[in-house]
Amino acid sequence: MSLWNISFAGCGFRSIYYLGALSCILERAPQLLCGASKIGGASSGCLVAAALTMCADVLTMAKEARKHTLGVFHPTFSLLRTVQASLLEKLPEDAHLRASGKLCVSLTRLADGKNVLVSEFDSREELIQVLMCSCFFPVYCGFVPPSYRGVHYMDGALSNNMPLFEQRNTITMAPFSGESDICPTEGTFNFFEVHYGNVSIQVNTGNVHRVCTSFLPPGLEICHHGYMDALRFLRERGELLHLHPPHN
């Protein structure tokens, strides 16, 4: 590959899956991440796209939610407030300069439901606003959507859950079994396949469970699943042989 993109589908707390997948790639083929032309994401996936180290913060949010009896539905737990606090703490002052031209965030315009892709950011605050907009899932995250440049937006996954998907050189990741490059496998038995926001999702018992639990903090074994799925992708593409010698 000469020029390629990477795209992360939105998936709620199941984005912890990306922590394992990225750990594998960083360990065995870091050039895939460092050399990517554009990195896109929607909803929770845009946090991973904004800064790969943000995976650790997704992990922190999941642990925080699990402290409450009702998890993310506990009245004292605010997902967006936690995301915002993490971004304010972790993003460097020049984050908008680093992100402009490389980060691609999917938003859904509240007024008409149309998709908007944002890849230029005038300030660090504006970058945070865009990320907050893409993560806002109605009702689950509240009733008043955030705004960006005076326009209200909501979860980017509702209109385009895999930005850059249309470009053939994009490496796609999703924690649902389907046609994404890095994703779980379920064997051969599937009822049928559906497409949601450019993400192919097989209809099977495994995915039904994954979708239904996307808004609840999962167990940390999902990190191992992400690691193994990424390892399978690298082996199938031959990256282990060309970019990094395989481990014994």
For the question of residue 57 being annotated catalytic, the response is: no
Q: Which candidate, 44, 72, 40, places its Cα nearest to that of 58?
A: 44
For the question of residue 112 being annotated catalytic, the response is: no
Termini Cα distance of the chain: 26
d(CA 58, CA 62): 6
d(CA 96, CA 127): 6
| Pairing status of strand 151-154 against strand 103-109 | antiparallel
Tokens of 55: 């995976």
d(CA 71, CA 233): 33
d(CA 11, CA 48): 11
Q: Which candidate, 52, 215, 121, places its Cα nearest to that of 133?
A: 121
Catalytic residue among 15, 43, 134, 159: 43
Catalytic residue among 7, 15, 57, 155: 155
Catalytic residues: 43, 155
